[in-house]
Amino acid sequence: MTTFPDVLARELRADSGRPLVTFYDLGSDERVELSVATYANWVAKTAALLVEDCDLARGQRLLVDLPTHWLTPVFLGAAWTVGLTVVWDEDDAPAAGIVCGPGPLAGWADEAAGRPVVATALLPLGVRFPEPVPADVVDYGVEVWGQPDAFVPWEPPEPTDLAVPGTEQDELWRAAAAGSLLTGAGFTGGGRLLTEVSPASPSGLASFVEPLARSGSLVLVVPADGPDADARLDATYAAERATARQSARS
């Protein structure tokens, strides 16, 4: 029986220094690389923020409204560390909390008076918004830095807790370890997957969980606009020595 903390702990023991998440914004030339250890540190700080500052608890639902970005798998891991269910919409039931980027913030700001809304500016180094956020909204880039570097929840997640609607944590990680999620991408254990798809989406979830479960790594790319967009993606694939690819158009 397996949970996200079990998987992450195993990867930390195996090789904490290997790259786990590499992020490119080809429009701005931003590049961020997180080793397994650095990723785990961000997850711990973020999980502490969700529990201590937002009062979220195991069994609740967290809506993650984030694009392709290195912080997206951080919030997924933080949610599963706490035992939260990650959702993409509220069609089935309302979420107890919301995480969003600058794009959807205006649409979620009015919710902050009744439930926690955590907003990230998605700026380099995870820094704060350049202007004050709306009332009651938690600016991730302000609050995350004061959180501890290690976090152990009072009520750890159970393998039967839902990771996403309809899928328990144990079920998700067993499928990821078996290589049955990333169909058609050509990913093999220990490989490097390049994707344009946000992991916080039904089609993109596998792009993060399978590389983590199979000791691989993820290269998240926001493509540039213009006639050379495909060429730049190809160059990034080669430069990062990626071994598999998931396209936003596939």
Q: What is the tens place of the pLDDT at every residue in 56-70? A: 999 999 999 999 999
- The residue type found at 106 is A
> What is the pLDDT at residue 170?
98
Long-range contacts: 70-73, Cβ < 8 Å, 24+? 70/21, 70/22, 70/23, 70/32, 70/34, 70/220, 71/42, 71/120, 71/122, 71/126, 71/140, 72/198, 72/199, 72/200, 72/208, 72/220, 73/21, 73/39, 73/199, 73/208, 73/218, 73/220
Average pLDDT value over all residues in the chain: 95
pLDDT exceeds 50 at position 136: yes
> What is the pLDDT at residue 107?
96
pLDDT exceeds 50 at position 188: yes
> What is the pLDDT at residue 248?
65
Between these two residues, 72 and 185, which has the higher pLDDT value? 72
d(CA 225, CA 209): 28
Residues 155-183, mean pLDDT to the nearest whole number: 95
Structure tokens at 104: 């959807």
Residues 156-177, mean pLDDT to the nearest whole number: 97
pLDDT exceeds 60 at position 250: no
Q: How far is C-alpha 233 from the chain's CA centre? A: 21
Q: What is the tens place of the pLDDT at every residue in 212-244? A: 999 999 999 999 998 898 999 999 999 999 999
Q: Where are the domains of the chain?
A: 4-246
- How many percent of the chain have pLDDT more than 70? 99
d(CA 170, CA 147): 28
Q: What is the tens place of the pLDDT at every residue in 100-125? A: 999 999 999 999 999 999 999 999 99
Statement: 4-246 belongs to CATH 3.40.50.12780: yes
